[in-house]
Amino acid sequence: MDQLNAAQTPEPDLAPTRRDHEEESVRRALEGFYRAGKAPWDTGVTPPELVALVEGHEALPPGRVLELGCGTGTNAIYLARHGWDVAAVDLIDRAVDQAREKAAQAGVAVRLLHGDATRLDELDVPGPFDLFFDLSCYCGVPLHRRDAYVAGLTDRAAPGARLLMFGYGPEPLGSPMPEVKSWAAGVTADELLARFAGWELLDVTPGTNSVPTFWFTLRRDA
């Protein structure tokens, strides 16, 4: 009987352990960049693609914006200075602390939250939002958490809301961190089309980096 029960007992599912390990690997890698002061996405300069969306000849009217992966707050502060009601989230507490200091020095009101962009239900970021901005956050999200990222944005998107996303493409020569599969996979237009149900992919523009990068613009269905 003991042998029969043992045979019928399912083996433990090890996938959650592997998933948790990958998420922790991402966190440690990002913390390492900030400790070294060398986060490549945190240049202190607002990208012209965002400036065009906010100040260009077809600029969006100011509304509510959520920034995913805000780093030390450069772009959240820029948006607040241009009349947007800004909430911003980052996984790394060191980055959020620096963002709060910078926002205070700039004299702007920004709701800066330490948290996971794939677990927005755990944070105080109720929608609707008119704009989402993502400067290389999604492309670093573990693959098994990307649908949760999409669900969080979709649930909080106003009809016609925009998502402006910058992302690295697939690694042509392999990832420097092979245990983080998402960093090797990068992000592609085909993936966004498959995951973002109820959104339209309006534009894909190659970046000017030495490795493959892209700017993606999506719009939530009205």
Q: Which residue has the tokens 């961190």?
A: 177
The predicted structure's pLDDT at residue 17:
46
Does 15 have pLDDT greater than 50? no
Chain center to CA of 184: 16
Does 179 have pLDDT greater than 80? no
**For residue 135, which of 24, 29, 216 has the smallest C-alpha distance?**
216
pTM comes to: 0.85
Say if residues 163 and 181 touch (Cβ distance below 8 Å): no
The predicted structure's pLDDT at residue 33:
74
The predicted structure's pLDDT at residue 19:
55
What span, in angstroms and rounded, lies between the C-alpha atoms of 159 and 183? 31
Q: Which of 60-64, 115-119, 123-127, 210-214 has the lowest mean pLDDT?
A: 210-214
Read off the pLDDT of residues 88-125 as tens digits, 9 standing for 90 and up: 999 988 999 999 999 999 999 999 999 999 999 999 99
Highest mean pLDDT among 42-46, 62-66, 179-183: 62-66
The predicted structure's pLDDT at residue 38:
75
Mean of all residue pLDDT scores within the chain: 87
Does 2 have pLDDT greater than 60? no
**What DSSP designation does 167 have?**
E
Compute how many other C-beta atoms are within 10 angstroms of the C-beta atom of residue 166: 24
**What DSSP designation does 9 have?**
S
Does 181 have pLDDT greater than 50? yes
C-alpha pair distances (Å), 74 with each of 70, 110, 114, 132, 152? 8, 11, 16, 15, 23
Does 185 have pLDDT greater than 90? no
Read off the pLDDT of residues 144-162 as tens digits, 9 standing for 90 and up: 999 999 999 999 999 999 9
Q: Which residues on adjacent β-strands are paired with residue 66?
A: 87, 132
Does 40 have pLDDT greater than 60? yes
Compute how many other C-beta atoms are within 10 angstroms of the C-beta atom of residue 133: 29
Q: Which residues on adjacent β-strands are paired with residue 67?
A: 88, 133
Selected residue with higher pLDDT from 12 and 46: 46
Does 29 have pLDDT greater than 80? no
Question: Count of alpha carbons within 13 Å of 167, Cβ hemisphere only?
Answer: 27
186-214 in b/e form (b: 16+ CB < 10 A) is bbbeebbeeebeebeeeeeeebeeeeebb
